A and B are shown apart, each in its own frame.
Chain A
Amino acid sequence: MKPRVAVVQFPGSNDERDAVWALKALGADATLVWHAEPELPAGTGAVVLPGGFSYGDYLRAGAIARFAPVMEAVTRFANEGGLVLGICNGFQILCEAGLLPGVLRPNASLSFICRDISLRVERTDTPFTSRCEPGRSLVIPIKHHDGAWYAPPDLLDEVESNAQVVLRYEENPNGAVADVAGVINRDGNVFGLMPHPEHAVDPLLGPGDGALILASLLDAVAERASAGVVFA
């Protein structure tokens, strides 16, 4: 059976179709789930919160999306140990929802940044990076205005001492503290990153390193399914 992935579509999401395309290209059964749905589809093995500008990024990026009906189901899924990946706006939503530590702030330059970027993989023992080789950098595009991850000093200490920083920028593009590009929760089942792996899957369009992140996730879903672990 193909790994089943639910990609949530909020009003203002704009990368959900790319995420579905990329996941399907890597062998997933990926479907869009509208934000007003109260439940995730039966048999969901992982949830992806895609990039975009959900609810116009009103108030703060991601601040309103956490009230979408589907987010209750996503939170329940995450709390039960289900795999959740937040990309860009999805990362902002997970932070605002309290599923990941920290917050994403406007880039220090106040510019919208759209380019390929090098990332250092700090951990390859997560369900989101298992296909990465230790010591090998990834090149994946970023495209954001509010991408500067921030945590107050005590929270940053906690995040660092729990090794929750999974990806770091090799050259910091946006003013993120500690060069953080991607963070995982303590339980290791919820991961958010600003770069867009779904835009770096087909070598025809540039770097293909995003496939490593998404394929790692699909491996984890398949592994759990074969072990009989079901969350939704």
Chain B
Amino acid sequence: MKATVVVRPKDGILDPQGQAVEESLRKLGFAVGHARVGRVVDLDVDASSPDEARERVDAMCRQLLANPMIESYEVDVRE
């Protein structure tokens, strides 16, 4: 099973990296509103069903991949 985790700064959490990217894009002439910078984790998961894989990756997110005080995450699972 393959899983992709996207971790983002939670809404309302100051994201200085996103702000720096936003300003740089504007300097290049791109009209952008907000930019937020997160990270992507690709995983090979040993699981017999997508549900099981999702459950396992969710636990990984809660325990390590994201800090729930400041980050939200989304999990995408595929065969």
Contact = CB atoms under 8 A, between A and B. Distances in A.
B69 A152 contact: yes
Nearest to A151: B69
Nearest to A62: B67
Please name the 8 residue pairs, one residue from A and one from B, whose CB atoms are nearest each other, closest first: A110-B16, A103-B69, A103-B67, A108-B16, A152-B69, A106-B16, A103-B70, A110-B20
B65 interface: yes
B17 A106 contact: yes
Contacts of A103: 67, 69-70
Interface residues of B, number: 10
Interface string B45-79: 00000000000000000001101011000000000
Interface of B: 13-14, 16-17, 20, 64-65, 67, 69-70
A142 B70 CA distance: 23
A59 interface: yes
A63 B64 contact: yes
A106 B70 CA distance: 12
A103 B69 CA distance: 8
Contacts of B17: 106, 110
B18 to A, nearest CB: 10
Contacts of A151: 69
B67 A96 contact: yes
B14 A108 contact: yes
Contacts of B13: 105, 150
5 contacts: A59-B65, A106-B16, A110-B16, A150-B70, A155-B69
A63 B68 CA distance: 13
Contacts of A155: 69
A150 B9 CA distance: 13
Contact of B14 (A59, A102, A175): A175
A60 interface: yes
Nearest to A102: B69
Nearest to B65: A59
